[in-house]
Structure 1
Amino acid sequence: MRAVVTGFPNATPLPGLDDAWHWTPAPGIDFAGALSADGERLLQLSGRDSYDRELATATLMFARDREADIFRHNPHFGAAAGFVAPPGRTFDVVAGVGAEVHRFYRVENPDLTPLVRLTFPAYADEFSGGETLDEAVTRYRMLRMNNLDRAPVPYLKMRYANTRTKSRSANSGRGFAEPRRLLEEIQLLEGGPGSFVEFENRHHQVWRVEWHDVHLLAEWEPDAGAPREIQLEELLSFAERSLYV
């Protein structure tokens, strides 16, 4: 593995971490990688126009020490808490992505693919811990992990139907979405009798918002009592807060 990595174009040792390297295959694209503790795998991080050597080193060091914890509950897509990011950064976990999700090197070096685990700094509110393989692939694409300057993209599943705009979810179940979409759809409920928005956070808490006459109602599930009237401003604030927990 060491010979493979040191053979990458422009590969140089990563300061501050043994058995770790940095390489740049193209301008603006940076990779950093470290051997796993047993030397059998490559833990790899990427940055596109956002590479930060201090952050990369801290992430890879944590990933090497806590690799088992990252993948303990989910071999495809996991995260471990306790990460202390460098000053100025707010990441609070390090996440890992299995080969069946990322499929790196499948063209140029397919034998390497199963030996690579992608790692990246992330936020706890982005993971439920129970993502299926298909869900892991979707979240991997949504998180844009090579942007090391990114804000959180919290775990959110939602479904909706709007009788006024005639728009609705593409399928019957809740699907992944970004927070802005949730807030937009909630605001569009007004004036649409029978319209609803249902949303779920990483703890699998589910809420349903409906429009009846002139009232916005928030319904907590499961069996948390009757829906209550709630003003739009309060509702939007509650919906957003519920995702960052």
Structure 2
Amino acid sequence: MGIADTIQRVPDVVPMRGLSGAWVWSPAPRMHYAAAQDASRQWLFRLNVLDGFDEPLLAAVFAFARSRGSAGSPLGGRSLVVLDGFSHPGYDFDVVCLVAQEVHGYSTKAYPELASVAVGAFPAFRCEFSGTETAQESAARFSRMLRPGSLTRRPSPYVKMRYSNARTRGGSMGSALGFTTVDVLTRELGLLEGAPGSFVEFQNFEQRTFQAVSSLDGTLSIAEGDAEVRVDPEALVALGERLVRSGGPRPTAS
């Protein structure tokens, strides 16, 4: 039995408006599921939405993913693929993200034949992905931070961080950078003021690493590689947020 035949067995499923080979259904109040075949008809794009269902947006997402397909799996053996260049009226999304079954975890118990062909596809923001995430990291971000099932969500930038603050005695364990949120990053950058000997090291979606330091003489600086500039507390927080949301030029003195 083919993918289309299997999907059409789903209770209350109806064709998606505006896109052939695509379907929508609602298994419970507030829950909306959508699916579409890829160009080869060998794979199935999926997205589960909670509230705020926008069928034209989902049709555009699936059509974009379908148009960017190539021979073989849409994922090419990876757990996460970012497709640049997406846009849709009324939204700020600028990419479509594809994720493997081990990342999206959509249940296929009722239709196990779909487990091996289901690819999560959702609208997203470029600042949310580095493209180097492991399957485990992608799954954790998908379920805890990105909220891909919300079509009205705001960006959740890719941020990895470690820090140590001599004044608050707060800090991370070990030398590895761990995922965090923009709110945590900006809070810790703000707490560097008046905390000599403290630092915040962070990485953005471009895989660029920055180190903000409160020196023993009380001055604040931020460095990327060998490029270091002194900054005031307010500028440091604003710069840190800009670097993880949009990347851009190396830090410079304001």
Both proteins in one fold, TM over 0.5? yes
Using the alignment, how far apart are the partners of 1:160 and 1:9 within structure 2?
51
* AA matched with 1:196: F
SS in structure 2 of the partner of residue 148 of structure 1: coil
Match 1:148 to one of 147, 151, 171: 151
* Structure 1 segment 1-245 matched on structure 2, within 5 A: 1-68=3-70, 75-85=78-88, 87-105=89-107, 107-141=109-143, 142-212=145-215, 213-221=217-225, 223-224=226-227, 227-243=228-244, 244-245=246-247
- CA separation in 2, counterparts of 1:51 and 1:238? 35
1:130-154 per-residue CA deviation (whole Å, 9 max, x = no partner) reads 2122222222222110010011111
Asked if structure 2 preserves the Cα contact closer than 8 Å seen for 1:73 and 1:129, the reply is no
Supply the distance in 2 between the matched residues of 1:228 and 1:62 (Cα, whole angstroms).
42
Higher mean alpha-carbon deviation, 67-76 vs 29-38, is at 67-76
Within 2, Cα distance between the matches of 1:210 and 1:75? 37
Q: Closer, same or farther in 2 for the Cα pair 1:68/1:195, shift >3 Å? A: farther
Letter in 2 for 1:242: L
> Cα deviations across residues 49-71 of structure 1 (Å, max 9, x unaligned)?
12111101111111111134995
- The TM-score with structure 1 as length reference comes to 0.91
The answer (yes or no) to whether the contact 1:78–1:127 under 8 Å persists in 2 is no
Q: Give the RMSD, CA atoms, in angstroms.
A: 1.9
Letter in 2 for 1:239: G
Deviations 1:26-58 (A, max 9, x none): 111111111111111111122111211110111
SS in 2 for 1:8: coil
TM (normalized to structure 2)?
0.88
Distance 2:75 2:44 in 1: 18
Shift of 1:164: 1.7
- Residue 59 and residue 236 in structure 1: after superposition, are their counterparts in 2 closer, same or farther (change >3 A)? same
Q: How far apart in 2 are the matches of 1:183 and 1:84?
A: 29
Distance 1:14 1:106, change over 3 A: closer
Q: Give structure 1 stretches of 5+ with no counterpart.
A: none
Cα 1:237–1:139 change in 2 (3 A) is: same
